[in-house]
Structure 1
Amino acid sequence: MEPMQLFELVIAMLLAIIALQYVATKLGVPPAAALLIGGGLLAFLPGLPVISLDPALVLVIFLPPLLMDGAWFIALGHLKRHMIGILSLAVGAVIFTTVVVAAVTHALLPDLPWAACAALGAIVSPPDAVSARAALANVPLPARLSILLEGESLLNDATGLVLFRFAVAAAVTGSFSAVDALGSFLFLAIGGALVGAAIGAVWVFLVRRLGDEYLMIAAAVIVPWISYLLGEQIHVSGVIAAVVTGLVCGWYQHVVFSAAVRMRGTSFWTVLIFLLEGSVFMLIGSSLRGVVERVGGFEIVLQEMAGPILLILLALTLARFAWVYGSEAVIVLLRALGWKRYKPVGARGAAVLSWTGMRGVVTLAVALSVPADMPGRDFMLVCAFAVILATVIIQGMSLGAVIRWAELREPDGVGPRVSMSQAEAVMAQAQVEIVERRAYNEAGELVHPQLLKRYRAKAEISADYAGQEDQYADRIQAHFDLVLEAIAAGRAELLRLHRAGDIDERTLQELERDLDLEELSAISAKAS
């Protein structure tokens, strides 16, 4: 493909992402499913080239920033508190699913070596971070379930990649050692964590000294790739390295970024992640044509592969249910024996956890990296694509309904000790105290009367509002509706002055920025 054709194809894909995202929003379906289906349909349009993905390039382009994004915004305190549950899903469930899929595959295809069956299990076992984020973007979940799924999606790829590596090595050498596999996994994980922590520390040190806000944002954008590539270069887990770097940077960004850097950086990063996530699903869908052509067409897929793939997909789904409900039973048993540290999520919560097993870019990229001479490679590739398609479309599109059916509620005593309105009151009190001390000069004269009046009023209103949100809800909504109407009126008048030539472009931009900040503040206050 010519470079110009490649560029035109990229632009066309980005336009398709925007269009499909819009359609998905209007129809109320998960964008991931719409993008995947849209990419699959576009793949068979006459005249379009067959999309051939380089698995290593796909992973290095998409995985680090998407992992960084998840780690950057995750609640670190909740992550530590629920680490046992997260590791149960990210390590235990992946290993268990790999074993189940390997056993079922070998039973269905006895001629396929055990190592190849294990490789297929490792390919399809880890749920995908991107798919999980996309499916959960617009569905409310209790904090515990959210952190379990977010934490799992950050760490399980490392487990799947290590299992796949050992399965391929076993297929090539004909030998396998569980002790060596465990030792290698620990080395890769610990090494990746150390690399990630080191890169995060260097990032914090440098960002404190850069000064220029655009350089700070640029440093935040490239750091996940640096961490991932360095981890892979020294043969430890690049996935873990990127995640730990994201955790470190996310923890310190509140003190090293100014408000302007945080607002501009977050806006840029949000758009970047949106395009990367959309591109992932579009590329997965677009690769369907190449996968089908490689195995000889849809007829071969339907006649020879559809039956085993459906049974493997069923085994894959049931394995997650078995692990989640089995873990739930263990917790109930431990509590019955007197160990009360861990609480069960409940039968309905376990059903939601079990149903969030969408696969995505990692599954496809790992399937594409299977050596060409490995037995069953074509079947693995078709199976991987079918698993992605089925889980994203079926589970992704029905997840909202499952969550509504479950009617999950935050358990009593779970959640932040201080509500948002109470936190606002505490913050307002701290502000008024500093203003009261500085509002008078050394002679005791009041030099900032309006500022003192403003902050005292804010502190009084916040204290009165704290804990009585329901009582003031209608008045608050009406208040900020009026504020937004006033901002709109001011913006219209500002544009009239500019269009009439009464103010120049610089004045327009400065005053419009003030209105934008005021509008964002009002929208945020109204939503909270």
Structure 2
Amino acid sequence: MPIVEALLALIAVCIGFALVARRARLPYAVVLVLGGMAIAFIPGAPNVELDPEIALAFFLPPLLQASAYRTDWRAFKGNIRPILFLAVGAVLFTAFCIAVTAVALIPWLPFSAAIALGAIVAPPDAVAAGAVLHRLRLPKGIVAVLEGESLVNDAAALVLYRLAVAATIAGAFSWAEAGISFIALAIGGAAIGWAVGRGAIIAIRRLEDTLLETAMSFIACFASFFAAEFVHVSGVIAVVTTGFVLGHAQHGLSARTRRESRVVWDFIEFVMNSLVFILIGLQLNEILGRMDAYGAWTLAWFAVVLSLVLIVSRFVWVFPASLIPRLIPALGRFGSARPWSHTTIIAWCGMRGVVSLAAALALPVTFPERDLIVFLAFCAILATLVVQGTTLQLVIWRLGVEEKRRPGMGIEEAAARTLIAHASLREMERRAEDILAGAIAHDLLPEYRDRVRLLDGINQGAIAAERAARLEHRLHALRAGRARLLRHHAEDGLEEELMARLTEELDLEELRLRRLLGAEHG
């Protein structure tokens, strides 16, 4: 029971911190980490130890799959060059820079152990990036690159990490072996992830039950991760691939499954995201408790220097890499050159998170300077979340990168809605021509023609106030119908199942009208 009580208490605290973050207009990941640190210093607060196996095997698969599920596959393919340059190139470059700096600061640290430290802190975290980016309105190209990078870079970093740990124990390190291992692990992980994803889709389409289908999508992420880890390939790549496969096939699912599973996954993401970041903050007591052998100023010097190198090395890599399409035009088809302001945002988005901490905690007990490496990894997470996470929105505003919400409905959305409306109207007109069943279709035609007139007006630039007024009338009529239904239910007592069905239909129609009205009002 103490575990259950502690878990519920943490979730309640996370809700409170999320509200504080919303009021303060700060990334809630930052507030959760700082809040966890504050709780850790409360007298009598228990020490919380985050098991690295739990962090990687329990938190990471669903969070990675959820991110991959939402990823625009066409945008991912269209930005594959910058994604790979960041996910592989930037990880290796950052790890090398951190290793060289660590050896200069701590001469007694073996170079292979320093490489392990570099691999731990090198990859920006998908969870941290999503927690910060979801509240900002960035150009789609930037978001595609950042999300794509954070989905793939963990695999590169963890492969390098495993090889560095093994080399530290064995006393030798080979970059060639690291490259070959990464390719093998990535291919193996992608194959398993694709197989699990396809199997999950086949199972989901045969279940024909929304609750079971949602549960199957949840199980798929763990199945791909554990299957990949069992055969010693990349579990991270496997989960990401499964997410891509499921996301690509989501339009073949029932409307109810898509809608309800989205709500379930949003809840899972919030709880797990929140627990991850507050648990990171709660580690502070345990980490500091093992730092007595070092002076406070020495620790602060190490942490500041390595955190600065971590942030600066990303800039050193990103800006030259962004010039490649200009210098080598043949590579332009894999991603066009970006404005320097976009490149600056990509370079500034280097928040670290749960993967870095879990990898640090997973170091063998006998690993050289293990406690110091764990402390430095924590400081890197804290520095990047606080410094970059809290200033990212300011940097975006200063550079003028944030996309302004355009008034009215977007051209692409209006065109798509018009296609739907015209196709629906043509089908209803075809049915109205039927001699036997045409009377019913004739009664429905005015409704479908009204929708077409509304959307044609949007495409032709009709007066926005008139369109908004029509939507407002529909919304008020719907509210009146809902109020009358509630009175009828209170007076005569409808069956709960019937009441739930009618309420769901009204809710869906209200959501549709509100989306259209929101597009009108901007």
Contact 1:421/1:467 (CA < 8 Å) preserved in 2? Answer: no
Distance in 1, matches of 2:349 and 2:150, equals 10
Match of 2:392 among 373, 380, 399: 399
Return the letter of the residue paired with 1:403: I
Contact 2:411/2:459 (CA < 8 Å) preserved in 1? Answer: no
Aligned to 2:290: 294
Return the letter of the residue paired with 1:382: F
Aligned to 1:75: 72
Q: After superposing the two structures, state which structure 1 stretch, 338-347 or 188-197, moved more.
A: 338-347
Distance in 1, matches of 2:385 and 2:468, equals 37
CA-CA distance at 1:89 after TM superposition: 0.6
Q: How does 1:165-184 map to 2 (within 5 A)?
A: 165-184=162-181
Matched, 1:374 2:367: yes
Distance in 1, matches of 2:515 and 2:295, equals 51
Aligned to 1:215: 212
Cα distance change on mapping 1:467 and 1:136 into 2, 3 Å: farther
Contact 2:61/2:225 (CA < 8 Å) preserved in 1? Answer: yes
SS in 2 for 1:295: coil
Aligned to 1:315: 309
Deviations 1:441-495 (A, max 9, x none): 2569544112222222322332332263xx5444444444444444444434433
Match of 1:199 among 170, 177, 196: 196
Aligned to 1:254: 251
- How many correspondences in the alignment? 512
SS in 2 for 1:294: coil
Q: After superposing the two structures, state which structure 1 stretch, 139-148 or 512-521, moved more.
A: 512-521
Deviations 1:209-263 (A, max 9, x none): 11122111110111101111100011110000000000001101111x1111111
Distance in 1, matches of 2:481 and 2:445, equals 26
Cα distance change on mapping 1:248 and 1:301 into 2, 3 Å: farther
Distance in 1, matches of 2:48 and 2:295, equals 19
Distance in 2, matches of 1:212 and 1:463, equals 38
Aligned to 1:276: 272
Distance in 2, matches of 1:431 and 1:248, equals 30
Aligned to 1:457: 450
Cα distance change on mapping 1:467 and 1:422 into 2, 3 Å: farther
Aligned to 2:432: 439
Match of 2:401 among 393, 404, 408: 408
Contact 2:136/2:402 (CA < 8 Å) preserved in 1? Answer: no
SS in 2 for 1:349: helix
> TM (normalized to structure 1)?
0.93
Q: How does 1:134-153 map to 2 (within 5 A)?
A: 134-153=131-150
Q: After superposing the two structures, state which structure 1 stretch, 154-163 or 322-331, moved more.
A: 322-331
Distance in 1, matches of 2:13 and 2:332, equals 51
Match of 2:87 among 90, 111, 117: 90
Q: How does 1:494-513 map to 2 (within 5 A)?
A: 494-513=485-504
Q: After superposing the two structures, state which structure 1 stretch, 422-431 or 492-501, moved more.
A: 492-501
Cα distance change on mapping 1:301 and 1:87 into 2, 3 Å: farther
Segments of structure 2 that go 5 or more residues without pairing to the other structure are 404-409
Distance in 2, matches of 1:422 and 1:39, equals 47
Cα distance change on mapping 1:444 and 1:240 into 2, 3 Å: closer
Deviations 1:113-149 (A, max 9, x none): 1011111100000000000001101111111111000
Matched, 1:264 2:260: yes
Aligned to 2:50: 53
Contact 2:87/2:153 (CA < 8 Å) preserved in 1? Answer: yes
Distance in 2, matches of 1:260 and 1:446, equals 30
> How big is the alpha-carbon RMSD for the aligned residues of Structure 1 and Structure 2?
2.0
> TM (normalized to structure 2)?
0.94
Cα distance change on mapping 1:210 and 1:301 into 2, 3 Å: farther
Matched, 1:362 2:355: yes
Distance in 2, matches of 1:408 and 1:37, equals 28
